[in-house]
Copies of this chain bind each other. A is one copy, B any other.
Amino acid sequence: MFRKRIAPQPESNERDTARLEAFSDGVFAIAITLLILEIDIPEFEEGHSLWRSLFDLWPSYFGYAVSFLVIGIMWVNHHNLFRIVRRVDHWVLVFNLLLLFCVAFIPLPTAVLAAHIDQPDEATAVVFYAATFVVTAIAFNLLWRYPTQHAPWLMEPDADPGVIASITRRYAFGPLIYLAAATIGWIFPTAGLIALALIALLYFIPTDFGAPASLDAG
């Protein structure tokens, strides 16, 4: 299905990666910054202090924080991915566009979540939110697996196969973890939200076991 479509042209393809990364950086940066626009400003209300109104926005802050971390982690991983994938072909462009499609979509489920935490339809909002991350994580896996498994000529020749295999295993957990959070959220919405927050925070703890190493710049 995936035929080799480009001959090795070091210079021109180097440039390809650069512009693909620049465009993707733009989408990541805009998506992460637009999140704040989805939070409505509290206006003056009789018998309701502004502190109270600002406090009542906590579901919005929660959504802002979790989505910011998730998009930030995606950006770091995307960054690292293109240190190993050094050339761009048709399918890398397609899968990258699919990933950006999901990333640019995130502000919508974030706002839906913020509007429905502690409301009757909380479970639906949590599932919709977590499901977006499931699909985003699948898109990320496609972008990683296609060059590593079907188009090795796009890869950095010096990349260590052991490192690649370990990254593949780590990324494969992404969709499963978010699927688990969605399932938990479907039954216990609050527990699902805590799970989503923990998943995001876990990435920031540098350990030598499990997921975290993905933030290493090495």
Interface residues of A (CB under 8 A from B): 3, 5-7, 9, 12-13, 15-16, 19, 21-23, 25-39, 41-44, 49-51, 54, 64-65, 68-69, 72, 75-76, 79, 83, 88-94, 97, 100-101, 104-105, 107-108, 111-112, 115-116, 119-121, 124-125, 128, 204, 206, 215-218
Contacts and interface: CB of A to CB of B under 8 A. Distances in A.
9 contacts: A5-B206, A5-B216, A9-B218, A13-B217, A23-B79, A27-B29, A44-B119, A89-B218, A93-B215
Given A12-B83, A218-B5, A33 B37 contact: no
A112 B41 contact: yes
Given A108-B39, A206-B5, A29 B26 contact: yes
Given A3-B206, A39-B108, A44-B115, 8 more contacts: A13-B217, A26-B29, A27-B29, A30-B33, A35-B104, A37-B37, A44-B116, A89-B217
Contacts of A7: 218
